[in-house]
Amino acid sequence: MVKSVNQFLLCVLVERATDGSQPSENWAVYMEVCDRINETEEGYVTVLTAAGLC
């Protein structure tokens, strides 16, 4: 179960960023994931946790 809204949003963003059915790369989504990771010192942990919960 997703523990926070931030983890849920990251999960959605990671799913969009890694969706192989997209016709082209979506750099806006890639940058949004990067921005969310860099918001805190432990942002990468949140992303890894969210990715495991997706």
Q: Write down the pLDDT at residue 29.
A: 92
> What are 1-10's pLDDT values in tens digits?
445 777 778 8
> What are 17-52's pLDDT values in tens digits?
889 998 999 999 999 988 888 887 777 777 777 666
Q: Which one is predicted more confidently, 48 or 54? A: 48
Q: Is 2 helix (H, G, I), strand (E, B) or coil?
A: coil
As for how many domains the chain has, the answer is 1
Written as one string, the DSSP assignment of 1-25 is ----HHHHHHHHHHHHHT-TT-SS-
Question: Residue 27 is part of which domain span?
Answer: 5-53
- Cα 37 to Cα 6: distance, rounded to the nearest angstrom: 11
First-to-final CA distance of the chain? 9
Sign of the Cα pseudo-torsion (3, 36, 44, 51, in order): positive
